[in-house]
Structure 1
Amino acid sequence: MPADALPDLDALLAGLRVVQIPMRTRFRGVTVREAAMLHGPAGWGEFSPFLEYAPAEASRWLIAAIEAAWRDWPDPVRGSVPVNATVPAVSPTQVPEVLARYDGCSTAKVKVAERGQHLEDDLDRVAAVRDVMGPGARIRVDANGGWDVAQATEALRRLAPYGLEYAEQPCPSVGELARLRVALAHRGVDVLVAADESIRKASDPLRVVREEAADVIVVKVAPLGGVRTALGIAAECGLPTVVSSALDTSVGMAAGVALAAALPELSHACGLGTVELLEGDVTADRLVPSGGQVTVRRPGPDEGLLARWAAPRDRELWWRDRVQAAHAAARAASPA
């Protein structure tokens, strides 16, 4: 975003509201989700980079929130988006309860390679998902780069009999993903590889395509700097695209839904049902699946729910400082 297109810092801070919403289940190490809501002339945007992200990385999330609150989004080509259920690294006995939250979803993404757990835990969890959802459901696993090539090859060999749709970011680097695809082919393991972090955290997302490191790409609006930027990256990559979320409230989720709705082709269910992982939301018009779909719409926050989940004053000040730092980083990185 050009520097002169960035709103002034005072304008960003004027409508800032910060919320804290507990998670139903620990996810990505997060037990309480914090998010800053920004209000602009086009509506509301969400700025919620994970707490460990430095200003340069967080600046892309701020640009995405500015796009939502100060600009419009591309026109949709579909009125609803198919979504997957998300199963955290829970015990097999908890799987039925988790899946019950996702009305009509026939695809599930299952977290694997959780720190402190073992492959047997992953196998038991995926088996439980298959048992609950039946033979016709699609199951994908997400390792968040938790395996090296040898570990991923063995894990996917053992998980493949459960009928995996794909494995998301099984290894951390693009080079490892490329080597893994070769290793799986040599061993006759029929599992597709999807790139997530290798797209959204990369300075060169197209490297995944050049090195033939993935069969599918996963894109997230906020880490890529907005709906338009993510749509452009998907077009340049030219691979089947799955739109996913980043533990957003419904305000942030609306941007992901807008991206999925604007894609020319959408062959996979999207990871846009994660509002169900939160104990609450900032709007009563929650973007959660109904019949396995999320209807394309843009809910705004309710004042009562913003007040209910309002963060303490010290956390609000922390987020104001963070907006300032991300704004400065965005200005420094923007063309004149």
Structure 2
Amino acid sequence: MATIPDLGDLLDSMHVVSIPMRVRFRGVDRREAVLLEGPAGWGEFSPFLEYGPGEASRWLAAAVEAAWTGWPAPLRSRVPVNATVPAIGPERVREVLARFEGAVTAKVKVAEPGQSLSDDLNRVAAVRDVLGPQGRIRVDANGAWSVREASDALSRLASYGLEYAEQPCAAVGDLRELRLRLARAGLDVLVAADESIRKAEDPLRVAREEAADIVVVKVAPLGGVRHASQLVAACGLPAVVSSALDTSVGIAAGVALAAALPELPYACGLGTVALLEGDVARQSLVPRAGEVPTIRVAADPQLLARWAVTADRLAWWRRRVTECHPLLSGNTVDP
């Protein structure tokens, strides 16, 4: 069976950091993360603060896999990555894209609360202007649109040439209906499922009901590299490996998954360290020539000290690890 360390070993090995974001993203100004050191290396536990123990325990399982078990052998030494453009004004697009050296694909956040479709159109237009006609653009609505809103928005955004739309609607049934509407309208926009995979009780429903063309998978919410790899195989759809605003330790797990998949037809969302003001590793996994290397990274003691949280936040995260630990047995697989 996969290794499940004692709670005491987890608590003794943990370091907690808080790193500012360069740009507010997903409502987050600072990213807090727990770094765990085990016999296989370093793992990251960084569920978003609002997640309950059940959901967060999958993130802990992924960190334990990384630090106590290790990952499958890679099939590729480098992984192509996309740039990520938050819901910013068009005047900031060039500045943000410059942080993703060599990336020819950009994921653009759309449907931000308090913004309009005009804001989305202006942002995507600015991205197209910077990337040029050969660049690839994908948009991510985080399930915020209704079928009608998604159909209308994508019919207008499609003029900028979209690679795909990520989670345009929240419900699986709505994704399926949207795919049919787009096909009837002659709009060549693929639909990718993200939240319908990583937050679903039945993540295979997306494939079974033909509700998406692509699956977006994230190692931490799916309980580790092995869990995520098995899910991709079961879905039988092309996969994009993405991240959750991780430090380089967490990004390395996503890279390990992307490097182990038999096929990798799309650039992956594994360049988001560029959105952080700092990192925990000296060998930071920021994009170079549009790629990141398939390597293990180690947290640096000086950087852990630099970004260390206050005593009350450390205590908060120790309680969270303690709450999640009893649930680990349901979130591990045989290596």
Cα deviations by residue, 1:55-102 (Å, 9 ceiling, x for unpaired): 000000000000000002010000000000000000000000000001
Aligned equivalent of 2:116:
118
Corresponding residue SS for 1:178: helix
Q: Structure 1 residue 188: deviation in Å?
A: 1.6
Please give the alpha-carbon distance, in whole angstroms, between the structure 1 residues aligned to 2:136 and 2:151: 20
Give 1:189 shift. 1.5
Q: Is the 8 A contact 2:223 2:331 kept in 1?
A: no
Report what 1:180 is aligned to: 178
- Alpha-carbon separation, structure 2, partners of 1:48 and 1:39: 14
Gaps of 5+ in 2: none
Q: 2-side partners of 1:320 and 1:166: how far apart?
A: 40
2:226 maps to a residue whose letter is R
The counterpart of 1:45, out of the listed 43, 48, 60, is 43
Q: CA RMSD in A?
A: 1.2
**Runs of 4+ more than 3 Å apart:** 331-335
Determine if the alignment matches structure 1 residue 210 to structure 2 residue 205. no
The answer to whether the 8 A contact 1:56-1:330 is kept is no
CA–CA distance in structure 2, aligned partners of residues 332 and 208 of structure 1: 23
Matches for 1:63-74 after TM superposition, within 5 Å: 63-74=61-72
TM-score, normalised with respect to structure 2: 0.98
Query: How many Å separate the matches in 1 of 2:113 and 2:4?
Result: 39
On the 8 A contact 2:105/2:135 being kept in 1, the answer is: yes
Could you tell me which of 18, 26, 29 is aligned with 2:27? 29
Distance 1:20 1:262 in 2: 30
Report the CA distance between 1:190 and its aligned residue.
1.3
Aligned to 1:273: 271
2: CA distance, partners of 1:9 / 1:81: 34
Q: CA deviation at 1:331?
A: 4.2
- State the match for 1:98 in structure 2: 96
Instruction: Give the conservation status (yes or no) of the 8 Å contact 2:62–2:224.
Output: yes
**Displacement after TM superposition at 1:329 (Å):** 2.7
User: Shift of residue 203 of structure 1?
Assistant: 1.3
Count of residues in Structure 1 that have an aligned counterpart in Structure 2:
333
Residue of 300, 307, 325 corresponding to 1:302: 300
Q: TM-score by structure 1 length?
A: 0.97
Post-superposition offset of 1:52: 0.3
- Worse-superposed segment, 80-89 or 178-187: 178-187
Following the alignment from structure 1 to structure 2, what is the Cα–Cα distance between the partners of residues 272 and 98?
15
Structure 1 residue 333: deviation in Å?
7.0
Residue identity over aligned pairs, in percent, reads: 68
Q: Output the amino acid matched with 1:92.
A: P
**Aligned equivalent of 1:196, options 170, 194, 199:** 194
